[in-house]
Amino acid sequence: MLIMAAMSASSFSRATRKGFADVEVTIELLIPGLFGLPGLPLVADLPTPALDHLLANARLASQSVVAAQASTADLNALNTAFGLDAAFAEVWPTAPYCLSVDDPNWDGEGFWLHADPVHLRPDRDQLRLFDSRTLGIAPGEARVLIAELNAHFSADGILLHAPVPGRWYLRAPGPVALRTRPLRAVMGGTLADVMPSGGDAGRWNALMNEAQMLMYQSPVNQARAEARRAAINGLWLSGAGEFASLELAPDLELVIGNDPLVLGLARAGGVPTASLTDSGLPELMANTPSGRVLLVDMELGDALRRGDLPGWEAALQQLDRGLAPLVAWVLDGPGHRRGQRFSVHLHDGSGATWIRPSGWTGHLSHWLGRHLGWRRSGGLAAARAAVHRRH
């Protein structure tokens, strides 16, 4: 992945004038689901050396008990990390920002919704929803279903688009009055209390019922049934809105991640983006004069919502491998030796914040521990135990 944008000339000149010794970079990690769930059985010897190194001298600086459901708490934490205003959080118009990442050739026009392909499974007297990660949708399957849906809904002025087989979008003829829940807030759950509402809900719920019947009859699902695979038998609407530039937190200098929402929000705010696998990431870090670097990983929280323990463990190890070069660069390598000061703040999305102070504040850690009650971590396992004791 190419690193989008670069540090501004004014930022670099500011750093050159002041010198790195006079400034500090905060590396903020937002990793919902990092500590699992209380009582969740984990592989005892699951190696996480990078996270253990990062947390070895960190302290639990704050922990608030989040009353909201974990699914919405993750999104609230994401909203806060980007510095988005309350009006944006209330509407949460995420579809156009994700689409701008999934389809780089998109022209940025129109009113769009997520129309994510899902599997709806009867569970007693309710329907339970499973997202596309559980379905393994092939590109050919997506193309056939999209063509069938577009042929059916063309008279309604509706266009569906699948730039990625597992993430679909719907262009509406104009703005719609719908209050919806993000897919992350409903995956793995039942639909009784989370269906779209608002002035246009009746029409759009009826249209989605039509889509379900059409998809059920599709040759794609007939072939999946013969192969004993779950049907792609529904669409989940959410995130309605139009693309607009965003005003993000002024201290945000760089965003690291792979999630399309994370990347889309950053780019709409003019903030450079990178992934952990980008070869140019150390250079970007070296040229970040001050402010905040935000790293977001949503995979662990998503796996927990699916009830996918093996997926959670695989995502944890993948994250740890990805973090290893960055952690080494910041704590032991060039970033440490050249005099840049980095503090690390790690949030799990539920109110727990672990802080590893920069070098010049490190000597305060024992005093803070004794007098302010900060808890010191002995690595990921110890941090997880400390967080769960408080719940």
**Domain residues of the chain, as ranges?**
27-84+246-389, 99-241
Measured distance CA(344)–CA(1) in Å, rounded: 25
Q: In percent, how much of the chain has pLDDT > 70? A: 81
> How do strand 24-30 and strand 291-296 relate by DSSP bridges?
parallel
> At residue 182, what are phi and psi to the nearest 5 degrees?
-60, 150
The mean pLDDT value for 193-210 works out to: 93
What pLDDT digit, counting tens, does each position of 266-293 carry? 999 999 999 999 988 888 888 887 899 9
Assess whether pLDDT exceeds 80 at residue 111: yes
Residues 6+ apart with CB under 8 A from 68: 76
Q: What is the per-residue pLDDT for 44?
A: 56
HSE on the CB side for 102, CA within 13 Å? 19
Residues 48-82: tens digit of each pLDDT: 999 998 888 888 876 554 434 445 677 888 999 99
Q: Assign residue 283 a region (left: φ > 0; alpha: ψ between -120 and 50; beta: otherwise).
A: alpha
Distance CA(20)–CA(288), nearest Å, equals 9
Q: Is the pLDDT of residue 372 over 80?
A: no
Report residue 186 as tokens: 């409903």
Between CA 48 and CA 50 the distance in angstroms is: 6
Name the strands in the sheet holding 59-63, side by side, starting at the edge strand that comes first in the sequence: 273-274, 252-256, 291-296, 24-30, 341-347, 352-356, 59-63, 375-376
Q: What is the DSSP letter of 149?
A: H
- Mean pLDDT for 376-384 is 72
| Mean pLDDT of the residues in the chain | 84
Q: Which residues pair with 127 in a beta bridge?
A: 122
More confident residue, 60 or 333: 60
Token pair for 246? 């965003």
Residue 359 structure tokens = 């070098």
Per residue in 181-196, pLDDT (tens digit) is 999 989 888 888 899 9
The confidence band for 45, taking pLDDT boundaries of 50, 70 and 90, is low
pLDDT value at 317 more than 80:
yes
> What mean pLDDT is predicted for residues 294-319?
92
Distance CA 319, CA 315 (A): 6
Whole-angstrom distance, CA of residue 112 vs CA of residue 99: 9
HSE-up (13 A, CA, CB side) for residue 218: 26
Query: What is the β-pairing status of strands 273-274 and 167-172?
Result: unpaired
